[in-house]
Amino acid sequence: MKRPLVVIVGPTAVGKTALGIALSKAFNGEVINGDAFQVYERLNIGTAKVTEEEKDNVPHHLLDIKKPDESFSAAEFQRTAKETITDIHERKRLPILVGGTGMYVKGVTSDWSFQEEKADRDVQQQLEAIALEPNGNERLHARLHSLDQAAAARIHPNNIRKMIRAIELLERGHDAPKPLQSVDNSPYDLIMIGLTMDRSSLYERIERRVDVMLEQGLFEEVQQLYEEGLRDEQAMKAIGYKEWIDYFEGKASFEHVVETIKTHSRQFAKRQLTWFRNKETVHWFDSEQEKHDHFTGIVQFLAGELEKMSN
């Protein structure tokens, strides 16, 4: 018999954290982080990581489990999250996965199989340098074609990241990454809850949140990591962190970086909405209305869904 798993998804800044805590308190639940960058210690402000005060004594899992210079894959998240879900079930509590990283969420809600091969950063950096040269993407694609024609056929020349990863693996004697293998049946009784709001309101909210992050010390948080030598690590790829590299290297103004962070955040929110609408079956709720009503509508919906499962 499948056990229940509640999943809360939606774009950045829409209010997923508050909803996860509210549902945990209402249904004896525990929150599992589903954000790719909140797993890192010291990436707090820029990732909008929940504070101890905001947790309100609700247990949270998979936060601060990696140091900023460590890597963390979707496969590792899938394995760790499922272990955590099992533990929560065994303690007769309700697991609530909260996050906006689509691939991480999908890896848990469906039995996707991920290839795991540790990346060779030296090789990747050499290939990244080629990508920055004139016609670099075409040269990389030709190199990929000479190594694996099938991989070249399915990876677009403009998808630099995937090309680099495929070439790096192939030249080390491994297979190129293949499309994710998916099993439609979830290992859980899923209840997918999505928060959304009017697009213009969401974008205004995102821009305000970036301003608040700066007031809270975002710049100083990133500067400390940069001064410790962090540059190309996975943690520094997060929106709100990667954009500051150009400022520290004298290539962009402070104001330009702030506007770039806002632009990237809006673009990310749009991609998140597209992903969850295409990849998951989600029950969507208006975030502004639900917050005004203290999430009463979602609480009633979840109570009904859990009742159906128990019958």
Tens digits of residue pLDDT in 155-167: 988 888 889 988 9
Question: Is 165 within 8 Å of 177 (Cβ atoms)?
Answer: yes
**Binding site members:** 10-17
Q: Is the pLDDT of residue 282 over 70?
A: yes
pTM of the model: 0.83
Q: Where are the domains of the chain?
A: 4-108+185-310, 121-171
How many CB atoms are located within 10 Å of the residue 200 CB? Answer: 8
**Binding site members for ATP:** 10-17
Question: Is 114 within 8 Å of 74 (Cβ atoms)?
Answer: yes
Q: Is the pLDDT of residue 179 over 80?
A: no
Mean pLDDT of the chain: 93
**Binding site members for substrate:** 12-17
Q: What is the CATH number of domain 4-108+185-310?
A: 3.40.50.300
Q: Tens of pLDDT along 57-102? A: 999 999 999 999 998 888 899 999 999 999 999 999 999 999 999 9
H runs (alpha helix) in 48-148 = 52-55, 74-90, 102-109, 121-131, 136-147
Question: Is 274 within 8 Å of 154 (Cβ atoms)?
Answer: no
